[in-house]
Structure 1
């Protein structure tokens, strides 16, 4: 495994992290035994950067991680997030208030079974709470020793500047992949100016950029992708054409599409640390090996040139979800 510096924190984390959400919900049925084996293998492979959130499985994912953290806490650079809350009908809303985030942090520490969270993210930016207030309260957690570094997720360039002026922001987590490149225009340049690491989530297009998903009818009935515009039948049929074109490029590089997709991100800058999610060891090994795929500047240009000939069909979230991103 290779390692990269997490922004102004100066901490070294694995160049490929591990997104843990799917272990608890969203992508079909759980397999707790395989998830635990995947977590343990990740550390053996040198993947020390784990990403979770308090909303994943309503706290279940943090509890899943605690079983491995109990004996291997020192081996993990642990990131979690706060802010999404569930209503009685299972719908969610975002709460970035100081009062709530302090309660959320205490609950996460208890579920994770740890004294300190290495990287604590605001899962979104609350439009009803000034970002300065949210980050000011997060900074108090740092002073109390409950959190080491602060991060934001899906924040705009303006919000990032305001937040970093209150307390140093170590990382920005946003969706970023060959399919989603919104941050390249304004957000990534601000992160680079302020020495904030860029953490792409869903770097494999929610599984689409692995080539393993060509027919959405195979998705489990509980899989949340069934409700995403990009995975609707007509849109996805168009998107499969992009997947197949990229698979040919990957074959030419003697790697898988997943590895090509991750290698492209890694080649976009040393400050980029993707966190592909998986709950299976075989995909973890595949993702980890992406660090061995070397793409030249010419390779990157060719891949982006190919993508310029296509248009990805469908938004990445529902209308309500899109209102919460990049704000």
Structure 2
């Protein structure tokens, strides 16, 4: 295990020396093309596709990693959120299904609304249910608008895209017309092909999906889904970069860095739990240095071996992304 940790550290440390080397389809230059000039000492920002917003490349995942320690200590949670804002982290990701998440963060959102790119999600598929959930989210978040609203957790074994178009998709388009939300996206981790079908049918503005360095679904998220999103200039958000690695001897910031080095990824959400984790990830995401193709390939091989015996949670029967870790 110690040799594995050493290997990953050596892979990351070599980035500066290899930065000028030629790479293949996803070069360091490409990764930096979308990078906005960060404020001094703040987390870097990138353009979120055709949404045009400049968002921090490190986003806050406000699911169970955040809820567990701070549901009963909301003052401490609010202080942690304020620390994230002070570091320049403006991309905040919550969901109606994340239990008390929206309620916990609501007071901080209200006090800092213009500093936050606010994202929530609804898993309702019918028109009325979707509208009710959005109303509840706005109430909990103490705001009259969202910056991005996702159709949450698309699954090929449960969802009918034609029926969704008559229900939640119709609802979200009405909300856009009403200027409650300017953009909508889709999320999922149950196969790249179904998400591609949804993109081709709904033409959403954004995509939230899984981009761990284990290259899930035989690499299709990276090799097929991400190029489609890039082609459409969608805002792409990575998630689940560290979930399986929590039980392995791996460096979490390295795994987040992998996703941020992929051409087309604007930001990566990471579960917010402690100030130490916030600071470590923020440091990695400030004056960000992407991994090149050779480094990503080496990390893929090493981490895939390291987590081979650890099940992928979202591929298990009955998994629901209600308040899962980012």
TM-score scaled by length of structure 1: 0.73
Q: Distance between the aligned counterparts of 1:290 and 1:308, measured in 2?
A: 22
Q: Distance between the aligned counterparts of 1:323 and 1:281, measured in 2?
A: 24
Match of 2:299 among 283, 299, 303: 303
**Residue range with higher mean Cα deviation, 283-292 or 143-152:** 283-292
Q: How many residue pairs were aligned?
A: 263
User: For residues 323 and 67 of structure 1, do their structure 2 counterparts lie closer, same or farther at Cα, with a shift above 3 Å needed?
Assistant: closer
Q: Distance between the aligned counterparts of 2:215 and 2:294, measured in 1?
A: 21
Secondary structure at 1:174 match in 2: strand
CA contact (8 A) 2:69 2:273 kept: no
- Cα deviation code 1:221-247 (max 9, x no counterpart): xxxxxxxxxxxxxxxxxxx3xx3xxx4
Match of 1:111 among 127, 132, 140: 140
Unaligned runs of 5+ in 1: 84-94, 215-239, 248-256
Give the aligned partner of residue 91 of structure 1.
none
Secondary structure at 2:265 match in 1: coil
Secondary structure at 1:78 match in 2: strand
- Cα deviation code 1:16-72 (max 9, x no counterpart): 110011266468975423221111111100000000001111xx2111111101211
Q: Distance between the aligned counterparts of 2:160 and 2:296, measured in 1?
A: 40
Q: Distance between the aligned counterparts of 2:160 and 2:300, measured in 1?
A: 38
User: For residues 26 and 180 of structure 1, do their structure 2 counterparts lie closer, same or farther at Cα, with a shift above 3 Å needed?
Assistant: farther
CA contact (8 A) 2:253 2:284 kept: yes
Q: Distance between the aligned counterparts of 2:93 and 2:321, measured in 1?
A: 23
Give the aligned partner of residue 110 of structure 2.
70
Q: Distance between the aligned counterparts of 2:160 and 2:261, measured in 1?
A: 37
Give the aligned partner of residue 283 of structure 1.
277
Q: Which has the higher contact order (CA 8 A, sep 6+)?
A: 2
**Residue range with higher mean Cα deviation, 286-295 or 103-112:** 286-295
Unaligned runs of 5+ in 2: 1-42, 189-193
CA contact (8 A) 1:34 1:281 kept: no
Match of 2:159 among 114, 127, 147: 127
- Cα deviation code 1:80-109 (max 9, x no counterpart): 0011xxxxxxxxxxx311111111111111
CA contact (8 A) 1:35 1:280 kept: no
Matched, 1:150 2:144: no
CA contact (8 A) 1:109 1:116 kept: yes
Offset of residue 9 of structure 1:
0.7
CA contact (8 A) 2:47 2:266 kept: no
Secondary structure at 1:321 match in 2: coil
